Amino acid sequence: MSRFWSEGVEALQPYVPGEQSSRQGLLKLNTNESPYPPSPIALQAMRDVSGDQLRRYPDPSSSVLRQALAEYHAVDVAQVFVGNGSDEVLGFAFKAFFCGKGALCFPDISYSFYPVWAQLFEIQTQVLAVDTSYEIPFDEIPADVGGIIFPNPNAPTGIAASRSQIETLLRRFPDTVVVVDEAYVDYGTETAIELLQAFDNLLIIRTMSKSRGLAGLRVGYAVGSSELIEGLLRIKDSFNSYPIDAIAQAGALASVQDERYFRETVSAVIEARQQLIQGLVELGFEVLPSSANFVLAKNQRKSGEEWQSLLREQNILVRHFNKPRLNDWLRITVGSSEEVRALLQALSLL
Amino acid sequence: MSRFWSEGVEALQPYVPGEQSSRQGLLKLNTNESPYPPSPIALQAMRDVSGDQLRRYPDPSSSVLRQALAEYHAVDVAQVFVGNGSDEVLGFAFKAFFCGKGALCFPDISYSFYPVWAQLFEIQTQVLAVDTSYEIPFDEIPADVGGIIFPNPNAPTGIAASRSQIETLLRRFPDTVVVVDEAYVDYGTETAIELLQAFDNLLIIRTMSKSRGLAGLRVGYAVGSSELIEGLLRIKDSFNSYPIDAIAQAGALASVQDERYFRETVSAVIEARQQLIQGLVELGFEVLPSSANFVLAKNQRKSGEEWQSLLREQNILVRHFNKPRLNDWLRITVGSSEEVRALLQALSLL
């Protein structure tokens, strides 16, 4: 504790990201990165940013990138907001929509940053237990919540809700902002973007860190009604005018324009996921049905912590959450086909 | 107004940055960018970041960059915090140190983002009028303020306070956080960094956007006592784990390591400032004594707004603040010697 800190800083319980190790020879399946680098066109676009562009401030509103994203998703440019990774976009959304409302509702098994933002911005929370199949029981959300947020597919379960489930939810809460965090949507989940035509209470969050192989670049975005986007802009412009650097704007733009590479790499991950699930089941693991680039798996022969630590001894990193209901499980990122084979081989010897 | 917004979002008055135009043939002297590109070594370091690095998350704590900055300033690595531009660092500082304290004190003529952060984080403010020479009257700061922040040299005046003035201030307010925003310090102002040995209430903010020619990259940092840095880290890790992308970490690191290029380009700007001031005086302008890479100048022949708009017609952008006490003035960025000549030539014809 420091006498210099603001009220509440001492009590904060910051988010702890998965380990980022640069150790050689490590098979890193712990933070859901793509096994593939970004599009070569995106790499070239980043390298083409000149010194003269870099000495200048970047476009504060990322207009060209936002326009490209608007076209990509067939929405208006006023419906797109870009941020320094989807975490920044999510943080802004908490501040813009959930302060001074009723309790914010999210699943107990979900992105563990949600309670952290709630604490930072002093937002009451209402945690909703996922059911015994690890699905989100949307019907059980209390009528008086002040906001709703969940990942779709959910993380770390990988389980997707259908578009019609989300539509029913939006219809039931017309005056409540519903944030659907679609970080992993490209790996086989129905996007809610089409629902934007009918629902102004819907905000969809996307990231370039997973399916676009750009975790290192920090670009995320939101798509929603123009009044929700305007709320995000008001927070952003009251906090940091220029959050997206010139190279990130150029690389993200070129990535959006390389649809072919995007589809190829996403398909390869979806195939490797099938290989991973099948291999895990053959080794006696229980695996939740995943629509993401990771799977949640357990094998009662050992605890989740033991599996994690034994894999670590083999230079393989996977994620274990030391939390109720998740203790037995491992969250394993889907790597390339070769990486999946290496993991299965290591597991078969444990 | 939207029914979806949090309390207070409607009332926010976001910061308005200087115009960023990419129009060809424009002489852009409105946002205090360096006339020189970043170090060639920094450019190369950014281009050397591989696709494999970019598919992975960057180091969330920017350790290598922080270590280099610590060595550069002869402090401990625990005394350095890095953010997505100094605006993000300043925003975090407001949240970490000034909430729930007494009023935050800053000069009336100062960085116009300060009142915006204060409003965002619901911090009371106590505005201190600069004196008739546009200097900050530190002695007049009320004893009961909850925090103090000012740029040194001040912006947009360019006037520097001496290290001994800052030392006296720190001694008078041992239990109050004093933030010295040294965005423009490299152009001839005494840094307060040496005072860190004696004062744990001092936080110094730096940016790579000005003297390092990296406005397009978004890297700023803070140097302070480890307990202040820990406060910033708690906010950052409760908001965005990975704010500095892999390319920005690499480019900023290489820039810090190229001291020679840094000194050369800073010296050239200081020389051009002398040329600019002399030329402006010869044209009948009053110019405040500047220790920054900009000057504040006025010439009562025309209003500040008129000068700005006439220069704009000549494709020259300068900054005018439509605010009390600043209305008559223009803030003009010091460009290269050629740019200074072009500006003076244009002014001589108006």
Please state, in angstroms and rounded to a whole number, the distance separating the CA atoms of residues A157 and A160: 9
- Nearest CB among B6, B15, B57 relative to A215 is that of B57
One-letter amino acid of B134: Y
What pairs with residue B286 in β-bridges? B298
- What is the structure's pLDDT at B104? 98
Identify whether A142 is preceded by a cis peptide bond (ω within 30 of 0): no
Quote the tokens at residue B246. 């892999």
A57/B4 CB distance under 8 A: no
**Over the stretch B269-283, which tens digit does the pLDDT of each residue have?**
999 999 999 999 999
pLDDT digits (tens, 9 = 90+) for B108-135: 999 999 999 999 999 999 999 999 999 9
Where are the strands (E) in B84-201, listed by range?
A: 104-107, 125-128, 147-151, 178-181
Q: What is the pLDDT of residue B31?
A: 94
**pLDDT, tens digit, 9 for 90 and up, residues A25-75:** 899 999 999 999 999 999 999 999 999 999 999 999 999 999 999 999 999
What is the pLDDT, as a whole number, of residue B15? 94
Which chain A positions have a beta carbon within 8 Å of B170's beta carbon? none
**Cβ contact (<8 Å) for B57 and A247?**
no
Whether A22 has a pLDDT exceeding 80, the answer reads no
- Residues in B closer than 8 angstroms to A33, CB to CB, are 55-57
Q: What is the pLDDT of residue A54?
A: 98
Whole-number mean pLDDT of chain B? 97
| B34 contacts on A by Cβ (under 8 Å) | 55
The confidence band for A330, taking pLDDT boundaries of 50, 70 and 90, is very high
Task: Tell the residue number behind the tokens 């990771």, with chain if given.
Answer: A294
CA trace torsion B23, B25, B31, B36 (10° rounding): 120
**What pLDDT does residue A160 have?**
98
Q: What is the pLDDT of residue B18?
A: 82
How many other CB atoms are found less than 10 A from the CB of residue B23? 9
Q: pLDDT digit string (tens) for B201-217?
A: 999 999 999 999 999 99
Residues 6+ apart with CB under 8 A from A51: B37, B38, B40, B43, B213
Would you call A36 and B55 a contact, using CB atoms and an 8 Å cutoff? Answer: yes
What value does the mean pLDDT take over residues A83-96? 98
Query: Tokens 């008001």 — which residue?
Result: A234
| B96·A6 Cβ contact <8 A | yes
pLDDT of residue B54: 98
CA distance A347 to A47: 40
Chain A contact set for B89 (CB, 8 A): none
Report the SS3 class of residue A330.
strand
> Is residue B243 within 8 Å of B236, Cβ to Cβ?
yes
Cβ–Cβ below 8 Å for B245 and A242: no
Q: Which segments of chain A are extended strands (E)?
A: 27-29, 80-83, 104-107, 125-128, 147-151, 178-181, 202-207, 220-224, 286-287, 294-298, 316-318, 330-333
Question: Which pLDDT score is estimated for B6?
Answer: 96
A218/B243 Cβ within 8 A: yes
- Rounded to an integer, what distance in angstroms lies between the CA atom of residue A84 and that of residue A245? 9
Q: Over range B142-150, report the average pLDDT.
A: 98
- For residue B43, give the nearest of A51, A97, A98 by CB distance: A51
Mean pLDDT of B333-345: 97
What pLDDT digit, counting tens, does each position of A206-215 carry? 999 999 999 9
3-class DSSP assignment, residue B6: coil
What is the biggest distance separating any 2 CA atoms in chain B, rounded to whole angstroms? 59
pLDDT of residue B17: 87
User: Taking CB atoms and an 8 Å limit, are B116 and A57 in contact across chains?
Assistant: no
Kindly identify which residue of chain A lies nearest to residue B146, measuring between CA atoms.
A4
B100 vs A contacts (CB less than 8 Å): 6-8
Quick check: A88 and B243 CB within 8 A?
Answer: yes
Paired with B83 in beta bridges are B220
Both tokens of residue B102?
Answer: 């007494």
Residue-by-residue DSSP string for B203-230: EEEEESSSTTS-GGG--EEEEE-HHHHH
Backbone angles phi, psi at A187, to 5 degrees: -90, 30
For chains A and B, CB pairs below 8 A equal: 273
A60 contacts B231? CB cut-off 8 A? no
Give me the half-sphere count of Cα atoms (radius 13 Å) on the Cβ side of residue A262.
18
Confidence of residue A216 (pLDDT cuts 50, 70, 90): very high
Pairing of strands A104-107, A125-128: parallel
Are the beta carbons of A237 and B36 separated by less than 8 Å?
A: no
- Write out pLDDT tens, residues A116-172: 999 999 999 999 999 999 999 999 999 999 999 999 999 999 999 999 999 999 999
Q: Which residue segments constitute the domains of chain B, with CATH numbers given?
A: 27-37+260-348 (3.90.1150.10), 40-257 (3.40.640.10)
Task: Give the residue among A213, A340, A219, A338 at the shortest CA–CA distance from A264.
Answer: A213
Question: Could you tell me which chain B residue has the CA closest to the CA of A34?
Answer: B55
* CA B71 – CA B77 distance, rounded (Å): 8
pLDDT value, residue B1? 81
| B150 pLDDT higher than 80 | yes
Whether B22 shows a pLDDT value over 80: the answer reads: no
Q: How confident is the model at residue B244 (pLDDT cuts 50, 70, 90)?
A: very high
Q: How far is A193 from chain B (nearest CA, A)?
A: 19
B3 CB neighbours in chain A (<8 A) are 175
Amino acid code (one letter) for B56: R
**What pLDDT, on a 0 to 100 scale, did the predictor assign at position B201?**
98
Total count of residues recorded for chain B? 350
CA distance A275 to A281: 10
